[in-house]
Amino acid sequence: MNKQTFEQNDLFYTKNIVDPLFNNIWLIGSKKTKNAILLDAPPDINNIKKFLINNNQWNINSIFITHNHYDHIDGLKDIISFLNKEIIIWIGINDSNKLKELKINPKYIKYYENSKQYKLNQTIIQFISTPGHTPGSTCILIEDNLFSGDTLFPGGPGRTQDSKSFKILIDNIEKKLLNLSEHIIVHPGHGDDTTIKNSLNEFQIFKSKNLNIDNLSGNITWQ
């Protein structure tokens, strides 16, 4: 658990932890074609540059954004200009306004909702829309790995602004994430991994408390 680098079938996965909030940035590539994607774009270009230079055998052609909070997206312009090539940006449509602010050319933007999946060589990457932490939050499922952004962490869900968002978030987590195979590893946007099995156990404890979720929001833990 919590390996920085691992492989599964054709894919190579490597993580770096960068500023501003111990953000996890991932590079995932096909060993066969060398085509690769980046997951999230924190505004820490110095550390990300080092990470990309250390991994310069990979041909990155897309960046997948889990959601539009500054610590996951504000590095986009710098990363694209460092890579110095055409990069497709993938984002949830309801989080995409931020790309206008960042002056990303609309020609290079794709919405998860319009595609449902992506293929990295032969491996299917699935998009799971999980609004709540932000309206366009999306989890990315690749083989046995769920990249959960700020939607699901060990011990609890991501932060919510109000109880309406909290209800939506909990509903998405329960119906779209916790029904995945128990052995799937959950890689959040910050901090350590967990598994669907662990999250399911924690969630059942939360459920058994029978809390009135109409009043819950902010930083909630399962236990």
Query: Which residue in the block uniquely carries the two structure tokens 């501003």?
Result: 20
Q: Which is nearer to Zn ion, 69 or 187 (CB)?
A: 69
Looking only at residues 62 through 91 of this chain, which bind Zn ion when binding is defined by CB under 5 A? Answer: 69
Q: Which is nearer to Zn ion, 150 or 202 (CB)?
A: 150
Report the Cα–Cα distance between both ends of the chain, in Å, rounded. Answer: 22
Looking only at residues 135 through 164 of this chain, which bind Zn ion when binding is defined by CB under 5 A? Answer: 150
Radius of gyration of the chain (CA): 17
Q: Which is nearer to Zn ion, 150 or 193 (CB)?
A: 150
The minimum distance between CB 82 and Zn ion, in angstroms, equals: 23
The minimum distance between CB 68 and Zn ion, in angstroms, equals: 8
Query: Which residue in the block uniquely carries the two structure tokens 């997951």?
Result: 39
Q: Which is nearer to Zn ion, 192 or 214 (CB)?
A: 192
The minimum distance between CB 112 and Zn ion, in angstroms, equals: 16
The minimum distance between CB 151 and Zn ion, in angstroms, equals: 9
Question: Cis omega before residue 20 (within 30°)?
Answer: yes
Beta strands in the chain (DSSP E): 5-8, 11-18, 23-30, 35-39, 59-64, 88-91, 109-111, 117-120, 123-129, 138-142, 145-149, 152-153, 156-157, 185-188, 194-195
Give the interface segment with Zn ion, choosing from 61-69, 86-94, 168-176, 179-187 (CB under 5 A): 61-69
Query: Which residue in the block uniquely carries the two structure tokens 């504000």?
Result: 74
# of chain residues touching Zn ion (CB under 5 A): 2
Interface residue list for Zn ion (CB under 5 A): 69, 150
